[in-house]
Amino acid sequence: MPDIEVDDIDHALLRLLHEDGRRTFADMAGRVGLSTAATKRRIDRLRETGVITGFTVQVDHKKLGWAVEAFSEVRYAGTTSVGDIVETASRQPEVQAVYTVAGDLDALVQVRVRDLEHLQEVIDRLRRTGTITGTRTLMVLGRWTRT
């Protein structure tokens, strides 16, 4: 059972904000058929209840010279805590996210790098931390995300 009732209009507002977090209340109101005030109240409620946890920016990493994206499956030594996993990854500026997972591996580490040589440097750096016992890296060829 969800913590809050979210209807079709709320879902439409969330999709609109996901597409462009800088949309005005008036723009969203016109698209969902509500008044600007009613739209603002709904967005405020979604924020207050924690459905919306923040607003962010989408970056074109290629324009910043970080054209290669990869995910590295990482296995850690048996006694490594989640905090230690995050600590190890956070020291690497190329690491974008860490997902701790259940199964054969311990974490899925998302990295962005300039090129394949840079990727090799990052993987080597991670392996030298002493807590990682194995890696397998997957290159991202394309991306689709739900809006």
Short-list 112, 95, 79, 72, CA closest to 87: 95
Residues for the chain: how many in total? 147
CB atoms inside a 10 Å sphere around CB 12: 16
| Pairing of the two strands 107-113 and 68-76 | antiparallel
Task: Retrieve residue 61's tokens.
Answer: 């990493």
What distance in Å separates the CA atoms of residue 61 and residue 12, rounded to the nearest whole number?
28
Q: Model pTM?
A: 0.78
Q: What is the pLDDT of residues 59-85, one digit of tens each?
A: 999 999 999 999 999 998 887 888 888
pLDDT at 1: 54
Q: What is the pLDDT of residues 81-120, one digit of tens each?
A: 888 888 888 899 999 999 999 988 999 999 999 999 999 9
Q: What is the pLDDT of residues 21-73, one digit of tens each?
A: 999 999 999 999 999 999 999 999 999 999 999 988 889 999 999 999 999 99
| Cβ-contact 29, 38 below 8 angstroms | yes
Task: Retrieve residue 21's tokens.
Answer: 């977090």
User: For 7-20, what is the mean pLDDT?
Assistant: 95
